[in-house]
Chain A
């Protein structure tokens, strides 16, 4: 608690912190699960030119790159949905592409252990969460369930009357098929001709290529979680989760 502040200011700061928590639950847990990728950039990201979304093997830096990341998720979901529709014609065959969007795929990212700091000047904020995810991926061999473990950390900026994501760091310790030990290669199942087109889909490479965080393997060097934020007065005093 910042003892320089009076009770009214402390309550305002508490509400700002709560707003960050709510934003991240909507953005990272709800909207991934509910397949809202086409609106994620518009709804949650800052208008700043230097927005950045860093993942394990690099960063999508700048508006176009971040938009492209979500566009790719949208395109992949459309493809996956259409293939799953073909696989299950009785149940899904009569549905439009909009109606079938997201069928058979789950991205559930539960967030725990939040540490959030609002800057003393109230213009920016920082936070980190642990991800406990249970996801489904469509592979040429069919739908595969994955365990996901990792971290999401972000810098936020106050725009108008709300928080927006400025820099996001989304890194995975694990993103591995369930039922297999984590040091083992991902299982490859016999190809199903219906699902074969999914192997032609390629996610856009990060425009900043850099090993940000290594996924688990038996000889992985220690990967500490991203640093948690400490109280700070203004953004120039602290570190950035951007690249």
Chain B
């Protein structure tokens, strides 16, 4: 039940706000699964110039800010990666065209989205969203082998109502540890010796990384570099970051680069001072 100061019409609008935001985020996951990221940026993200300048995409190692940097990472870098993944297939089979129509060969990216937490601001202008991902991800190789992993993470978003339509403004895709399909969780590789754990939650590595969902180079070089999510600490720093009921969005606590997402409590306290 909404606050008493909402009219019935306003309550109906808020009911639909919740529906529309949930659907918008679901569409993000379908675009993500199908490598349809250009479509996602065009259709689902903010459109007004002032919002496109402040839009951001957070990954474990920082924030891409502004739609140009977001696009360069989220679309162009992925395309480059897909070309590099396609090359060995074309080398092995010269009849296979090394072109965009064959990008994504050997790729699986299926995200099951659970436990969404969503609050619409009382002023109705923004929304905050969080969910858990239980993903299945695979990268195939020309020799018939594949790197198949269960992958986990939390996704956060600030959404904004632009001209009556909800749009993604700040998105954070955290990547936690990954579990290779068909391998025993207890047999997890190298961190077992280094950290005395069963192996998950190691720092990111370059090139092949058996422990994490993504390698360091896949996360690229964010515009604003800071630790947004460190798998080694698990999600304990994110307790304050889940969406809570709010009146209007406070930029100090939003999911963009100016916010304090992912900071340890002692860094947040220093900021507040």
A-B contact pairs, 20 of them (CB 8 A): A1-B16, A10-B15, A17-B19, A114-B23, A114-B26, A115-B27, A115-B30, A128-B30, A130-B111, A173-B136, A179-B182, A183-B140, A183-B148, A216-B108, A218-B106, A220-B107, A222-B34, A222-B103, A224-B36, A228-B26
CA gap between A198 and B195 in the complex, in Å: 48
Q: Is the CB of B34 within 8 A of A224?
A: yes
Q: Is the CB of A181 within 8 A of B105?
A: no
Residues in chain A near residue B36, CB distance under 8 A: 224
Residues in chain A near residue B183, CB distance under 8 A: 181
> Digit string of B251-271 for contact with A (CB within 8 Å is 1, else 0)?
000000000000000000000
**Nearest CB in chain B: distance from A108 CB, A:** 13
A residues bordering B, Cβ < 8 Å? 1, 3, 7, 10-11, 14, 17, 110, 112-116, 128, 130, 132, 147, 149-150, 173-174, 179-184, 216-225, 228
**Nearest CB in chain A: distance from B84 CB, A:** 15
Q: Is the CB of B108 within 8 A of A181?
A: no
Closest to B103 in A: A222
| A218-B140 CB under 8 A given contacts A128-B30, A130-B29, A132-B134 | yes
Q: Is the CB of B23 within 8 A of A116?
A: yes
Closest to B107 in A: A222
Q: Is the CB of B23 within 8 A of A149?
A: no
Q: Is the CB of A221 within 8 A of B105?
A: yes
Q: Is the CB of B146 within 8 A of A222?
A: no
CA gap between A150 and B110 in the complex, in Å: 8
Partner of A225, one of B33, B112, B142: B33
B residues bordering A, Cβ < 8 Å? 8-9, 12-13, 15-17, 19-20, 22-23, 26-27, 29-30, 33-36, 89, 102-108, 110-114, 134, 136, 138, 140-142, 144-146, 148, 164, 180-183
Partner of B181, one of A17, A181, A218, A224: A181
Residues in chain B near residue A225, CB distance under 8 A: 30, 33-34
Q: Is the CB of A10 within 8 A of B29?
A: no
**Nearest CB in chain B: distance from A11 CB, A:** 6
Q: Is the CB of A183 within 8 A of B145?
A: yes
Beyond the given pairs A7-B8, A130-B111, A149-B112, 18 more chain A to chain B contacts, judged by CB atoms under 8 angstroms and listed by A's residue number, are A1-B16, A10-B12, A11-B15, A14-B19, A113-B29, A114-B23, A130-B110, A174-B108, A174-B136, A183-B146, A217-B140, A218-B106, A218-B138, A218-B145, A222-B35, A222-B102, A225-B33, A228-B27
CA gap between A221 and B134 in the complex, in Å: 23
Partner of A220, one of B13, B15, B106, B164: B106
Q: Is the CB of A112 within 8 A of B113?
A: yes
Closest to A181 in B: B182
CA gap between A128 and B110 in the complex, in Å: 14
CA gap between A181 and B134 in the complex, in Å: 17
| A218-B144 CB under 8 A given contacts A14-B16, A180-B181 | yes
Residues in chain B near residue A220, CB distance under 8 A: 105-108, 140
Residues in chain B near residue A228, CB distance under 8 A: 26-27, 30
CA gap between A221 and B96 in the complex, in Å: 11
CA gap between A114 and B139 in the complex, in Å: 26
**Nearest CB in chain B: distance from A113 CB, A:** 4
CA gap between A64 and B106 in the complex, in Å: 37
Residues in chain A near residue B146, CB distance under 8 A: 181-183, 218
